[in-house]
Structure 1
Amino acid sequence: MINKDKGDHKYLLISGNIEQQIMSRVLKIGDKLPSVRMLSDQHEISVSTALQAYYHLEGKGLIESRPQSGYYVRFDPSRSPRKVEKSMPHQEIKTKEVETIIGEVYDDFVSPDVVRFSLSVPAPEILPLARLNKAMMQALRDLPANGTQYEQVQGNGLLRRQVARWSLEWGGHLQPDDIVTTAGCMNAIAYCLMAITKPGDTIAVESPVYFGTLRFARSIGLNVLELPTDPDTGVDPDDVKRALRNHNIKACFFVTNFSNPLGYCMPDEQKEAMVRLLSQHGVPLIEDDLYGDVYFGRSRPRSCKSFDEEGNVLWCSSISKTLAPGYRVGWVAPGKYLKQVKHLKLYHSITSPTAQQEAIASFLATGRYEHHLRKLRQTLHANSLRFIQAIGEYFPPGIKMSDPKGGFILWVELDKHIDTYQLYREAMQHKISIAPGAMFSLHDRYQNCLRLSYGMQWTPQVDRALRKLGELIRNYE
């Protein structure tokens, strides 16, 4: 019997139990599931609720319907590729010009008919575009001078109140005055780096790490120390402790929840230990929590900021990965560095876009965001399982892959002799875009790795693209 005290819909509870049995291999590929009528009787639910449970599992690619026969398990977790291992970055200077690769990949940003596995944002078809349009039109009507005037430097008041309210989801207790709005999360990170470092300083980061952060850090004259990173738990505080002993580190930067590109989620006890360690050494932590709302489990993971008692964590986020990438609405809670960040924003941009901030603020205030996130998480979780299954089937044996519990990203490690930049160029001839692994380090690493985004609707075109990508990889054998 299902637990009626739980707040989830009954069909989600039932489908979750079946999914757990599939993942633990209690139910194996080819096993027949109870008929819809039998499932209905077993759980004392309606036939339509039983069908919803099976539709939900079918949408994730875990089961399939066979005409005149019923539902059968079609997913075998044992057939998934092996997991990638902890990275051990060497600190040699990179000889290859990675900017060329990044420029080439992102020049294809808007090319038509390209299956864009390279882009780590949700596709428009899974976003609430009509409601966003209404929110924008309402903002233009409600704002003074139809949104053409400057906002205050710290940012839209309603938006900061909503971000503060939303912080309760991850154990935060932010106030509106703790927050500065920015033009997306990368802009927030940039302000933080400029606020707490100067040219010649060294910062420590996970590895692999988002290329935008690496490139910006180098552009302002910072040295970057890449730390070993576990694909499940991220950077170990013991590795940070060793780095602090051996290097004059002025700041750390970590993507703590469902990182880009490795996909790890740092456990809560590790986050707490990290905050405590860095506070003891007086080293600030810039936390990129861009993907925290896109979790596949029962609840949102906490952020390092929730353990911060001294204002030493600069927490950055935005709606670029969940709601509206092009609106460029983000924010930062910079703790004791609030004054410095506000001054930098004033010097660099004066204020943030007025209408976009107001539209996103009203979207969050009405409860539409929570409703949208529930649907988005279901879609992305289903996509992740379909991608894992397709890669296990289409790619050659022996590859390794991350196992994300949230976010948009899969990190795939191919045979050592495969150059994924060359693979990218071959794939683009078939209108398939990937992100070569060399983009995610400043050193000669990850040339045989690639990042794939599953932030789109699963379609026959996506399935064909993964099959073709597998064929191209097999050609290297």
Structure 2
Amino acid sequence: MTRYQQLADILSQRIKEGLYVAGERLPSVRLLSDEHGVSISTVQQAYRQLEERLLIEARAKSGYFVRCSSNLPSLPATCTHAQRPVEISQWENTLAFLQRGKQENIMHLGVGSPDISGPGLKILSRLLSRVSLHQSEEVLDYDNIYGTPVLREQIARLMLDSGNHQSAENIIITSGCHGALAIALGAVCQSGDIVAVDSPSFHGAMQTLKGMGMKVIEIPTDPVVGISLEALEMALDQWPIKAIQLTPTCNNPLGYNMPDERKKALLTLAQRYDVAIIEDDVYGALAYQYPRPPTIASFDDDGRVLLCSSFSKTVAPGLRIGWIAPGRYLDKALHMKYISAGRVATLPQLAMAEFIKQGHYMQHLRRMRRQYQRNRDIMTSWVMKYFPPNTCLSRPQGSFMLWVELPYWFDSLRLNRCLLPQGVQIAVGFISSASGKYRNCLRLSYSKPMTVEIERAVQKVGTAIYELLAEDEPKVAEKQNQP
């Protein structure tokens, strides 16, 4: 990390702790230069970064001041759709999004992949080569059906960070978190069953449910505190729901962290109605706050929570290493793994175990959390700069996804069609719904280093939004004037 980034982080922390309050003038550039023993240009760069994070603002001939929170954009609305079981659609649109995800001539602003260019990944690559060379017979043989013991032991230690006291014997290695979710669903549900999900939701979970022949009830979800417990209770009262599937920490796509008391209340609801909870914690380790928030599973004392996670978002998706701690459903989960995915490749498991054991993983996490938090603030500032002023934005507390809400009549699929010839792709909002809601929303990713090229792509998105809104305004006005 550069000196100006270090200084920006120090000042950011002071603002968050209330040492500098909204509207207060910050120390002069020269004063900070003397205080921290850095050059004036370093202080100026630090202040510019804090401006990009929307924490401070420059006032002509007056200096820098802490920005008032009222200058931030409004939050997206909580959806109020009807609660009834629906069959899942959107596979064609999801497939089109995934297929374009690897096209080299397109700037992919919506793909949920982590930054894999950092120094930690170079160390992991060397470990992969070393393990392949020195443990060649082991990496070519069948893996233990549970997964390699050494990796499961390391994961059990990592889970202490989220308040989970699991033994390695209760952890099953899977093919990514997607594989863990499929195993969890198969362990507690059957084709035709109803599953309650947070909404908007992870499109991969939606399509897994579709592939397994299940129906979903989309539960309205607040962009700050998470799934509506009141709406969930009504759904549990009315329908024979078999499981609740959600991402309560560093949610995808809204980015919230569900408060601990609400996690406990949700668990109480699940106990009262005797349903399983499938908790997706794939982004939990990327929470900007540390210690990270606890999982729902950490409060579970009767084994009804199936906790799923992976290294796909924290390290690299190509590893294809996930895991599930299935609680009371261990035997069923193991059987589901055996009949669906079978074994997981041994080489990446052994290399990842060494990566954790040698301390590289936690160091990598610290670096990525800082980077993603900075990137969030930069991406937010670009959206505020280039998008219409009535745009609503989520305020992610972790991970690298930003949820954008435009006027209710806006069509994000039409926007994407306009952008593709310009070499830009977004994630359209309605793939995050079972039935195509959130057509006026889109998801942006900010995992990669925030380059000039990415800023230009965001500007193209904003320009296209303005043009489409201008085209739509006469039609919308005509509809509103109709009796």
TM-score calculated relative to the size of structure 1: 0.89
* Conserved 8 A contact 1:33-1:70: no
Q: Does 1:287 align with 2:279?
A: yes
- 1:334 equivalent in structure 2: 326
Q: Deviations over 1:324-352 (max 9, x none)?
A: 11111000000000111111112223211
Q: CA deviation at 1:438?
A: 1.2
Query: In the TM superposition, what are the counterparts of 1:277-356 in structure 2 within 5 Å?
Result: 277-356=269-348
Distance 1:57 1:171, change over 3 A: farther
Letter in 2 for 1:337: Y
List, as ranges, runs of 4+ consecutive aligned residues in structure 1 with deviation greater than 6 Å: 49-54, 63-66, 92-97
* Uncovered stretches (5+) of structure 1, i.e. residues with no partner: 1-8
Letter in 2 for 1:405: Q
- 1:34 equivalent in structure 2: 28
How far apart, in 1, do the equivalents of 2:56 and 2:7 lie?
Answer: 21
Q: How large is the RMSD of aligned CA atoms in angstroms?
A: 2.8
Distance 1:22 1:390, change over 3 A: farther
Distance 1:144 1:441, change over 3 A: same
* Conserved 8 A contact 2:85-2:215: no
- 2:126 equivalent in structure 1: 134
Aligned pair count reads 460
Q: Deviations over 1:360-392 (max 9, x none)?
A: 111111111111111111111111111111111
Distance 1:222 1:198, change over 3 A: same
Q: 2:214 aligns with which of 216, 222, 227?
A: 222
Comparing 52-61 with 441-450, greater Cα deviation is found at 52-61
How far apart, in 2, do the equivalents of 1:346 and 1:51 lie?
Answer: 59
Q: CA deviation at 1:272?
A: 1.1
Q: CA deviation at 1:239?
A: 2.2
Query: In the TM superposition, what are the counterparts of 1:3-22 in structure 2 within 5 Å?
Result: 12-18=9-15
* Conserved 8 A contact 1:15-1:56: no
Q: Report the secondary structure of 1:316's partner residue.
A: strand
Letter in 2 for 1:434: I
How far apart, in 1, do the equivalents of 2:121 and 2:397 lie?
Answer: 26
* Conserved 8 A contact 1:287-1:315: yes
Q: Does 1:443 align with 2:435?
A: yes
How far apart, in 2, do the equivalents of 1:96 and 1:252 lie?
Answer: 16
Distance 1:409 1:38, change over 3 A: closer
Letter in 2 for 1:322: T
Report the identity percentage.
30
Q: Report the secondary structure of 2:111's partner residue.
A: coil
Query: In the TM superposition, what are the counterparts of 1:6-405 in structure 2 within 5 Å?
Result: 12-18=9-15, 25-27=22-24, 33-38=27-32, 40-41=34-35, 46-48=36-38, 58-59=48-49, 61-62=52-53, 72=64, 77-90=69-82, 98-126=90-118, 128-143=120-135, 145=137, 147-405=139-397
- 2:480 equivalent in structure 1: none
Q: Deviations over 1:51-80 (max 9, x none)?
A: 8787556445248999xx998469664433
Letter in 2 for 1:374: R
Letter in 2 for 1:382: R
* Uncovered stretches (5+) of structure 2, i.e. residues with no partner: 1-5, 471-483
How far apart, in 2, do the equivalents of 1:447 and 1:140 lie?
Answer: 47
